[in-house]
Amino acid sequence: MSANIIVIPGEHIGPEVTREGLKVLDWIIANRGFDCVYREELFGIKSLEVHGKLLRDGLVEECMNADAVLFGAMGGPEYDALPPEVRRQGSLLRIRKELEVFANLRPIRGHPSLADFTPLKPEVANGVDMIVLRELNGGIYFGERGTETVEGNVERAYDTEVYTTPEIERIVRFGFELARGRRNKLCSVDKSNVLDSGRLWRKVATRVHEEEYSDVELTHLIIDNCAMQIIKNPGQFDVLVMSNMFGDILSDCAGSISGTLGMLPSAALSAEDENGRRRALYEPIHGCAPDIAGQGIANPCGSILSVAMMLDHTFKRPDDAALIETAVEEVLASGIRTPDIAPVGTTPIGTVEMGDAVISALDRLN
């Protein structure tokens, strides 16, 4: 049967970068024998205008039954005027939660061709190859939250960080398995010196290591120290596993190694079902960037590399994934740049031109 993919381009620069990711997917279909069908769906403000909801009825269920979902970006100032319950009903958090894609893989690589652009020294950034593994279905984004007025007309807002033993067990197990297929090193990140949730996180990670994964090297770091180490010596890391909020923050911090968030893809995966299938959501980690939307200058490499991750993790086509990654590296090495990675004094190209350059590289490599 043909692979079934649902594409949700989203908003602002989301459709622009997703279009280039699909251009690469179309090339794989045409040139590498990948039997695949995909369809696009509205999401967010455009969906609200057409369907009366940010997320139309039935779409989440259709995403659960698809082999994979390719997402673009969401958000923007238009959401400020929407009631909180409307925003939550149509949020990306809801899609992640209902698909139960708890394991968010965010690969971070140092690109030698971008060594002059990253703020880190070339000898620090070059050769970095690590994965920030973010727990995606729990933590502070899904805990009790609210805003209330207390005595004296003072506003009080709260967001509660909550983790259970099973939630921690499944994400650290995923991290250990991931490390076993790489360099066999897992670093668990927490705030155990202050937070009860952090102490539980460290306790569970240590126990799972001792009972099931003693062959993998496990280290623990407090998040503040980890943030410094990512900038000071990122080459020491293989896989880092952490909570939802910490993963959100540190993966963006680690983006400085690649020079721009525009280069960073991600995969969000569920547990395996009885047939070994995982529900999957792929997306670049950058935001919707309304300030540059419509200008045709957004970097599409995060979306293109998300397609590569999809081919690797969901469709078990590592050769196709490696081909795309090599094509992107070749384009970067040739000096072709979008504005976010263009050195001063050089002339950058646009979103479509970057996608075309990757296609040309694929033609040569194939």
Could you confirm whether 191 is annotated as catalytic? yes
Task: Identify whether 113 is part of a domain.
Answer: no
Could you confirm whether 252 is annotated as catalytic? yes
Could you confirm whether 282 is annotated as catalytic? no
- My answer on whether 136 and 230 are in the same domain is yes
Catalytic: which of 38, 79, 163, 191? 191
Phi, psi values for residue 344, rounded to 5°? -60, 135
Q: What is the pTM of this model?
A: 0.94
- My answer on whether 284 and 183 are in the same domain is no
Tally of domains in the chain: 2
Could you confirm whether 141 is annotated as catalytic? yes
For residue 106, list its beta bridge partners.
132
Residues 247 and 188: beta-carbon distance below 8 Å: no
- My answer on whether 249 and 306 are in the same domain is no
17-33: pLDDT as tens digits: 999 999 999 999 999 99
Q: Last residue of some domain: 240, 258, 276? A: 258
- My answer on whether 69 and 159 are in the same domain is no
Phi, psi values for residue 274, rounded to 5°? -65, -15
Name the average pLDDT for the chain: 95
Residue 176 neighbours by CB distance under 10 Å: 23
Could you confirm whether 316 is annotated as catalytic? no
Q: Which domain covers residue 196, as residue numbers?
A: 118-258
DSSP states along 237-292:
-SEEEE-HHHHHHHHHHHHHHHT-GGG---EEE----TTS---EEE--SS---TTT
Q: How do strand 103-109 and strand 267-269 relate by DSSP bridges?
A: antiparallel
Q: How far apart are CA 236 and CA 185, in angstroms?
A: 9
- My answer on whether 140 and 236 are in the same domain is yes
248-257: pLDDT as tens digits: 999 999 998 9
CATH code for the domain in which residue 187 is found: 3.40.718.10
**pLDDT band for position 183 (50/70/90)?**
very high
Catalytic: which of 215, 224, 232, 363? 224
Q: Last residue of some domain: 258, 274, 289? A: 258
Catalytic: which of 190, 248, 312, 340? 248
Q: Last residue of some domain: 258, 286, 314? A: 258
- My answer on whether 140 and 82 are in the same domain is no
- My answer on whether 326 and 336 are in the same domain is yes
Q: How many residues does the chain have?
A: 366
Q: How far apart are CA 227 and CA 157, in angstroms?
A: 27
- My answer on whether 147 and 174 are in the same domain is yes
- My answer on whether 131 and 248 are in the same domain is yes
- My answer on whether 181 and 208 are in the same domain is yes
